[in-house]
Structure 1
Amino acid sequence: MQPATGNATYKGAVLVNPGGPGGSGTQMVAEIGTNLTELVGEGYDVIGFDPRGTGATLPLAQCFETESELQTFAQRTPVLVNASDDSIPYSKAQDDAVAQLCQRKLGGNGSENANGTVEEWGGGRFMDTASVATDMLRIIEKLGQDKLHYFGVSYGTILGQYFASLYPEKVGRFVIDAVCDAEYYPWNSALVETEGVIDGLYSYCHLAGPAKCPLYESSIAKIKARVWNIMKTKTPLAVPFAAQGPAVVTEALLQQQILNAVYFPISGWPEFANILVAVETNNQSVLAASDFVAAAAPACNSTNEPAPWQRTNSAEYAIACSDYPLADDPAAFDAYLREMTKESPIAAPGWVGSYLACMKWRIKAKKRYTGPFAGNTSSPIFVLSNVLDPVCPLTHARRVHARFPGAGLLVQNATGHVATLTPSACTVAAVQAYFANGTLPAAGAVCQPNVLPFVGAVGGD
């Protein structure tokens, strides 16, 4: 918990969720609690909690017995489904193995009948989002609050929609940032803005000029051509003396780095540009020291200690696959892959893995909430979105805004995932005013950022 600051009248506690699914609210507050306190303003405690299956909860959605078992398996997992001809069938087989492992671990004590069927079904059946929404209700009841004050980002906006739909009369100050539409839970329109965010690599680089962007060329088109020429003609590249041991930089690895960078372009694009130039010039000292190359040759911890909690795919699948189970239908997956590839040819190969995993997931939630995701809330919701978000597009925010009468919508003229991660005095002031007195943004309100990728500080508004 981050305690309330200032001399303002105490207004209660704000629960927070960092997304995922699988993220830990307690870890979020431990890492950025002071930032969250500044965002919500004086008079509010900020409380992080761990959704079922995550963080310090028990049972934990961690299906591997030891740290070495987890790391060894992870190193054999393809990152992109187009990495090779057998990536998709290999991923399906791996997901099937994990699904059976998790069924054994989360489905109870693992006892089997004579047919090999797991008879005991335990905590894995109760990790769905609707159950976590009810947990939030119970938390505020224990705190003596009548309403839930909430700040959720990414998947946390889905959790927020569940709560506001199930308990609309319990909604207090309620901000959802980087909104994914709960009615489109397979996220089959999630990537409609991803290519636009990627285009920002080229346009912001050109705007910043050669002094600030090492990839600078005389036109945006030439910057784009240079980027893809490096990726396709300068790889694979050996990095024999990387900090974690010998590594190989591949086009697939660089493509994955793009997917990481689109989430946080302010830091991600400059880091990616430096990596590309190092690959282009075979700058071994830069590559050997980079975290990017270290991730390509992860150290394997050989300990047989129990696997620690971390934000793992097991927790993501335990939650998401409970909320939206999928049939094991190869034709449906092929159609989904085609659809996502149309939205973003670059991002789709790294995005669709969750769909494959849910096709193989075996644990069924005891109960599911399937909608409607709408409601007349006791207090109006504050919906916040960047103008371009790589995985939770503005179109989702607009749909959610329309389904909750009286809600406010603020658009930030920035790119990347989660608006409040891009510095903007305008956005912070709007959120603070809402938490202070319920003031909503005016219709059509837009805030400008104070920092741009490569460019650095700008005026904002």
Structure 2
Amino acid sequence: MSEANGETMLSSSFLFLAALQLTTTLAVSQFDWETLDAGTTLKWTPCYQGFQCTLLQVPLDYTAPTGSNASIAIVRLPSAAPKSEYRGPLLFNPGGPGSSGVDAIVQNGAAFATIFGSEFDIVGFDPRGISYSTPHISFFNTDVERELTIPSNPNIVYPSINASSDALARELAHWQLLGKLAVARDEGGYLQHMTTDNIARDMLRITEAFGFGKLQYWGVSYGSVLGATFASLFPDKVGRLIIDGVLDMDGYYHANSTSQMTETDTALQTFFDSCVAAGPARCAFHAPNASAIATNLAALTTRIRAQPVAAVTPAAHGIVDFDALRNALLAALFAPYDSFPPLAQALADLAAGNASAMYTLNAPPPFACGAPRSSANPLESYMTIACGDAAPVADDLASLRAFYEAATSVSSFADLLASTRVVCSGWKIHREGRFQGPIGARNTSFPLLIVGNTVDPVTPLAGAVKAVQAFPGSVLLTLDAIGHTSLTAPSRCIYGYFREYFVNGTLPALGTVCPADAVLFADGRKGNATASGTPPKR
């Protein structure tokens, strides 16, 4: 990385979000996508503030290109460079599956452009079926029906299957219910086409619609699956491709998240250790040593499991129970540089009998009847795409219980993270001929840049190492940080290598490790990063 490029990042590195804030409020309030008509060319319309929007028509079924179509919502922050310096679109996927790439770029595109340079259009798109793209993945006729069935709460995505003696059985029934609803309301059989291989084909269509033949892309978390799938399907169409926070692809395509849990407990241990190091002034849940903090947390968890606590805040009210507490802990591990201080305060308050701070950490937005219909559908999209990609799961209750018990030997968070297999046990819609692996290609037209953190709670570094082996010639860039993806903490070093890769095609030297420009518990209750601690949906 050149010193000049490193200096370019100095003014902006702390503006770059440590984890994406994927709420839809900003986008919904500023632009009406229904005013646009989809076409096979990109017809840009001003939208939001300083952005341009369009809808691209693509085949719903690529084996029947003259049949029904899908409409892909695309937003760009246009390049500010002269035409002679223009380098085309740089596509971004924020994870999920189910997160809105449009909202991610509306909220973070300016920071991205500062990092990558004005030569690129910074492009976000909603994968088929998600958010502003259509046909819209939905199992429900109204938002009220959705709210009554799957309230918008992180616990619904990460339900603890150890919350009670019948929690696993109830979760199995819940996901079977949603699977039956999906089958019953799959008008025209469109849900089978909402798969990662088709999203990869859509990315190629988007790139070609810009007038370019090879993809430039950065994908985080599930976006790593999308990027690796693209490179496997179209190895000769890789321009520049970063996958960041890399899932175990075999595990993803078999609805088995066990390999994702190998560093989750290590990440939690950093909370204990850094709290001790920070001292009581900066860590409210402080104790003299890490073992004491772990013991106090275990005792608090046992107490809340036996007796949940009511919480009333100015904005909302609800219950902090075992599920809520477990999810708050896991959420903090995704973006610890920002989330550890408020988590420590919330734990201290909860131990003292006040649940307000803990409830606020992951409180769902209040639902209002009569509000404009929401375009957000993360849970339905997650189930449709992740389970539709994977090999069918036919496990019964006994098999799922055995799977969970085996996963507990890998991580104490298996009660949350093993739920992927339970979710997919209810899914019955699978398209014949869909891509299911293997991931990899002997020769891509340009080497991939593969990024992993030293400790990532849900995409361990081993996933990145495995991806390097699947794509010979690719290079691993490691961020010495705790948290999920390189978005967990600002790093001038990482940003510099990203820009060098996209602009000059320069790969880091083998074994390169970048430091994070952040410190755990640096600023007490507020943290020192800029993002929410809410984990992106898997």
TM (normalized to structure 2)? 0.77
Equivalences for 1:372-387 in 2 at 5 Å? 372-375=438-441, 376-387=443-454
Sort the Cα spacing of 1:70 and 1:244 in 2 relative to 1 into closer, same or farther, 3 A.
farther
Preserved contact between residue 96 and residue 378 of structure 2 (Cα < 8 Å): no
Deviations 1:40-62 (A, max 9, x none): 22311111111111011221111
Alpha-carbon offset, residue 23 of structure 1 = 1.4
Partner of 1:47: 123
Equivalences for 1:310-459 in 2 at 5 Å? 310-330=376-396, 331-345=398-412, 347-375=413-441, 376-455=443-522
Moved more, 326-335 or 229-238: 229-238
Q: How far apart in 1 are the matches of 2:80 and 2:280?
A: 44
Partner of 1:179: 246
Partner of 1:68: 144
Alpha-carbon offset, residue 316 of structure 1 = 0.6
Preserved contact between residue 247 and residue 293 of structure 1 (Cα < 8 Å): no
Q: How far apart in 2 are the matches of 1:282 and 1:24?
A: 37
Preserved contact between residue 214 and residue 274 of structure 1 (Cα < 8 Å): yes
Partner of 2:178: 98
Identity of aligned residues (%): 32
Q: How far apart in 2 are the matches of 1:385 and 1:241?
A: 39
Q: How far apart in 1 are the matches of 2:372 and 2:420?
A: 25
Alpha-carbon offset, residue 289 of structure 1 = 9.2
Partner of 2:79: 4
Partner of 2:347: 276
Alpha-carbon offset, residue 232 of structure 1 = 2.7
What is the aligned counterpart of 1:204 among 274, 284, 288?
Answer: 274
Q: How far apart in 2 are the matches of 1:130 and 1:289?
A: 39
Partner of 1:261: 332
What is the aligned counterpart of 1:291 among 347, 354, 360?
Answer: 360
Q: How far apart in 2 are the matches of 1:326 and 1:231?
A: 35
Q: How far apart in 1 are the matches of 2:387 and 2:359?
A: 35
Q: How far apart in 1 are the matches of 2:425 and 2:372?
A: 28
Partner of 1:115: none
Q: How far apart in 2 are the matches of 1:100 and 1:204?
A: 46
Preserved contact between residue 231 and residue 254 of structure 1 (Cα < 8 Å): yes
RMSD of Structure 2 on Structure 1 (CA):
2.3
Preserved contact between residue 260 and residue 458 of structure 2 (Cα < 8 Å): yes
Partner of 1:117: none
Alpha-carbon offset, residue 396 of structure 1 = 0.5
Q: How far apart in 1 are the matches of 2:242 and 2:341?
A: 30
Q: How far apart in 2 are the matches of 1:361 and 1:10?
A: 44
Tell me whether 1:31 sits opposite 2:102 in the alignment: no
Alpha-carbon offset, residue 215 of structure 1 = 1.8
Alpha-carbon offset, residue 290 of structure 1 = 5.5
Tell me whether 1:241 sits opposite 2:317 in the alignment: no
Alpha-carbon offset, residue 300 of structure 1 = 4.2
The amino acid across from 1:291 in the alignment is: T
Q: How far apart in 2 are the matches of 1:367 and 1:98?
A: 24
Sort the Cα spacing of 1:318 and 1:294 in 2 relative to 1 into closer, same or farther, 3 A.
closer
The amino acid across from 1:292 in the alignment is: L
Alpha-carbon offset, residue 278 of structure 1 = 0.7
Preserved contact between residue 105 and residue 123 of structure 2 (Cα < 8 Å): yes
Alpha-carbon offset, residue 288 of structure 1 = 6.6
Preserved contact between residue 224 and residue 244 of structure 2 (Cα < 8 Å): yes
SS at match of 1:183: helix
Sort the Cα spacing of 1:100 and 1:251 in 2 relative to 1 into closer, same or farther, 3 A.
closer
Moved more, 398-407 or 416-425: 416-425
Moved more, 244-253 or 263-272: 244-253
Alpha-carbon offset, residue 306 of structure 1 = 8.1
The amino acid across from 1:447 in the alignment is: C
Moved more, 68-77 or 138-147: 68-77
Q: How far apart in 2 are the matches of 1:397 and 1:293?
A: 29
What is the aligned counterpart of 1:191 among 261, 264, 283?
Answer: 261
Sort the Cα spacing of 1:300 and 1:28 in 2 relative to 1 into closer, same or farther, 3 A.
closer
Preserved contact between residue 267 and residue 333 of structure 2 (Cα < 8 Å): yes
Preserved contact between residue 70 and residue 307 of structure 1 (Cα < 8 Å): no
SS at match of 1:360: coil
The amino acid across from 1:62 in the alignment is: S
Q: Which runs of 5+ in 1 are unaligned?
A: 109-120
Sort the Cα spacing of 1:188 and 1:406 in 2 relative to 1 into closer, same or farther, 3 A.
same
SS at match of 2:109: helix
Preserved contact between residue 317 and residue 354 of structure 1 (Cα < 8 Å): no
Sort the Cα spacing of 1:240 and 1:447 in 2 relative to 1 into closer, same or farther, 3 A.
closer
The amino acid across from 1:271 in the alignment is: P
SS at match of 2:386: helix
Sort the Cα spacing of 1:244 and 1:86 in 2 relative to 1 into closer, same or farther, 3 A.
farther
Moved more, 441-450 or 350-359: 350-359
Q: Which runs of 5+ in 2 are unaligned?
A: 1-75, 529-538
The amino acid across from 2:79 in the alignment is: A
Sort the Cα spacing of 1:293 and 1:40 in 2 relative to 1 into closer, same or farther, 3 A.
closer
Partner of 1:219: 289
Partner of 1:116: none
The amino acid across from 2:229 in the alignment is: Y
Preserved contact between residue 89 and residue 123 of structure 2 (Cα < 8 Å): yes
Sort the Cα spacing of 1:403 and 1:241 in 2 relative to 1 into closer, same or farther, 3 A.
closer
Preserved contact between residue 97 and residue 385 of structure 2 (Cα < 8 Å): yes
Q: How far apart in 1 are the matches of 2:311 and 2:275?
A: 30
Partner of 2:298: 228
Q: How far apart in 2 are the matches of 1:316 and 1:267?
A: 26
What is the aligned counterpart of 2:160 among 77, 80, 84?
Answer: 80
Alpha-carbon offset, residue 388 of structure 1 = 0.8
Moved more, 441-450 or 241-250: 241-250
Q: How far apart in 1 are the matches of 2:389 and 2:200?
A: 12
Preserved contact between residue 148 and residue 172 of structure 1 (Cα < 8 Å): yes
Partner of 2:232: 165
Alpha-carbon offset, residue 311 of structure 1 = 3.8
Deviations 1:357-379 (A, max 9, x none): 21111212243112231111111
Q: How far apart in 2 are the matches of 1:82 and 1:349?
A: 6
